[in-house]
Amino acid sequence: MSNADEQAGPAVTGPLAHRVPDLGALELLLAVARLGSLGGAARELGITQPAASSRIRSMERQLGVALVDRSPRGSRLTDAGALVTDWARRIVAAAEAFDVGVQALRVRRDSRLRVAASMTIAEYLLPGWLLALRAQRPDTAVSLHAGNSTVVAERLLADEADLGFVEGLSVPAGLDSAVIAHDRLIVVTAPGHAWARRRRSLAAGELASTPLILREKGSGTRQVLDAALGGLARPLIELSSTTAVKAAAVSGAGPAVLSELAVGEELSMRRLVPVPVEGVALTRDLRAVWPTGHRPTGPARDLLSLTRG
């Protein structure tokens, strides 16, 4: 009777999984949006119509939002449903990238195309490329091995990989290469940090004299920064993974220097903000590499051509 049962706002804490529908439900929603019919969507996903009906209904109950307008001649999204569907599409896209990446990780042998890539490229770029490759060559099995430049070179020279990707400053001996993209290192801080409000660009000297959250010495990222500053980078902390550096920066520990590729997500969600810098060469080439003489052919050539803008 009172507003006591009017849910005083469902727990905003606790596992996400309890408040976000599972992937199956989201895929179903996308199919309904595209086909305009519950039954049709059910057919496409290989389940029965009542299953689809019930699943959409329970998703609406879970979210507390009406998503589709049912009518005896089809179903259309509500306004809120359209918005929710667009957000869902992004979860599904991330899941597709995950899927294609994991598949490449698993199928180690008897693959038609064996790729070796540096961590940053494997993490941020390869899933997108593999999705594109699958779109035009659906039956190419791809295997992926991630490691640093040295490991990539070893695998190529031992004929354990057909195509490699590296991000270092130089190309390992015995390999030919082509620049496929450029990566920029950027300085970022949590939104609360003093530098987040700067409008004037940071000068090289200022950057060199401030303790920064950095990858460990020897990492590709650190090499580029040290080279750009003349070996002067002063670490506040040294961490051994990009993820750890990001986490430290987000928590406000200080300014960090990271690949632009690694922080796209955080920037657009404003968990981190970029600090303008000038007079420091923080770009590096991303290169495809292969054994000297063995120009990529077949699937390797297809993948290579996909990576060039």
Partner DNA sequence: ATGGCGACATAAGCTGGGTTTATGAGCAAC
Partner DNA sequence: GTTGCTCATAAACCCAGCTTATGTCGCCAT
Residues numbered 37-96 forming contacts with DNA, rule: CB under 7 A? 37-40, 46-58, 70-75
Q: What is the identity of the amino acid at 201? A: S
DSSP letter string, 174-194: TEEEEEEEEEEEEEEE-TTSG
- Rounded to a whole number of angstroms, the minimum distance from the CB of residue 84 to a copy of itself is 6
Q: Shortest distance, CB of residue 102 to DNA, whole angstroms?
A: 16
- In the complex, the smallest distance separating the C-beta of residue 216 from a copy of itself, rounded to whole angstroms, is 15
Q: Which is nearer to a copy of itself, 24 or 174 (CB)?
A: 24
Q: Give the closest residue to 131 by CA, choosing from 156, 94, 183.
A: 94
From residue 252, alpha-carbon distances to 14, 55, 191, 196, 235 in Å are 23, 41, 8, 11, 15
Task: Provide the minimum distance between the beta carbon of 153 and DNA in the complex, in angstroms, as a whole number.
Answer: 35
Please choose which of DNA, a copy of itself, none residue 205 contacts, taking the beta carbon within 5 to 8 angstroms, the exact cut-off set by kind. none
List the interface residues with a copy of itself, window 92-131 (CB under 8 A).
92-99, 101-103, 105-107, 119, 122-123, 127-129, 131
Q: At what angle do helices 79-106 and 23-35 cross, to 10 degrees?
A: 120
Residue 49's binding partner, choosing from DNA, a copy of itself, none, with beta-carbon cut-off 5 to 8 A by kind?
DNA
- 3-state secondary structure at position 301: helix
158-197: which residues touch DNA (CB under 7 A)?
A: none
Nearer to DNA, 56 or 261 (CB): 56
Show Cβ contacts of residue 300 under 8 Å, excluding neighbours closer than 6 positions.
Answer: 113, 162, 163, 290
Site for a copy of itself in 147-166 (CB under 8 A): 147
| Cα–Cα dist 276/198, whole Å | 8
Q: How many CA atoms lie within 13 A of 53 on its CB side?
A: 7
Segment near a copy of itself (CB under 8 A); pick from 85-93, 217-225, 227-235, 285-293: 85-93
| 82 makes contact with a copy of itself (CB under 8 A) | yes
Which residue ranges make up the site for DNA (CB under 7 A)? 22, 24-25, 37-40, 46-58, 70-75
